[in-house]
């Protein structure tokens, strides 16, 4: 495989974690997906900057790297919208 297919890892903290973490679920029922996401979100010892996704017929035909990049872009846009809509903190 060509090295150009790999992208550099950008650590976002000192543990070497990569930005744009993604968990892709496949073969779960809607109820099971909700349970998995809820159980994950309850764990404060796990990173919470994670995008969850399910495999769809469209995504199953695409390369994994393309799907992950799209999910990362969507997650960044969601975080930006969330920051814009957050109430301003009073300055002290």
pLDDT digits (tens, 9 = 90+) for 12-55: 554 666 677 889 999 999 999 999 999 999 998 888 888 898 99
Question: Does residue 52 fall inside a structural domain?
Answer: yes
Question: Does residue 72 fall inside a structural domain?
Answer: yes
Question: Does residue 12 fall inside a structural domain?
Answer: no
Average pLDDT of the chain?
A: 80
pLDDT of residue 92: 53
Instruction: Write out the two tokens for 44.
Output: 């404060």
Q: 6-9: which pairs have CB atoms within 8 A and are 24 or more residues apart?
A: none
Decide if pLDDT at 71 tops 70.
yes
Global pTM exceeds 0.75: no
**Length of the chain as a residue count:** 92
Structural domain for 70, as ranges: 17-85
Question: Does residue 92 fall inside a structural domain?
Answer: no
Instruction: Write out the two tokens for 69.
Output: 């990049």
Compute the Cα dihedral for 43, 79, 30, 26 and give only its sign.
Answer: negative
Decide if pLDDT at 60 tops 80.
yes
Number of domains in the chain: 1
């Amino acid at each position: 495989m060509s090295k150009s297919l790999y992208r550099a890892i950008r650590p976002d903290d000192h543990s070497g974690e990569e930005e744009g973490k993604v968990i892709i679920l496949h073969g779960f029922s809607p109820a099971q997906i909700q349970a998995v996401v809820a159980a994950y979100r309850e764990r404060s010892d796990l990173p919470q900057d994670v995008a969850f996704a399910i495999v769809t017929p469209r995504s199953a035909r695409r390369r994994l790297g393309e799907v992950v990049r799209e999910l990362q872009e969507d997650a960044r846009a969601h975080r930006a919208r969330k920051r814009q809509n957050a109430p301003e903190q009073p300055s002290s």
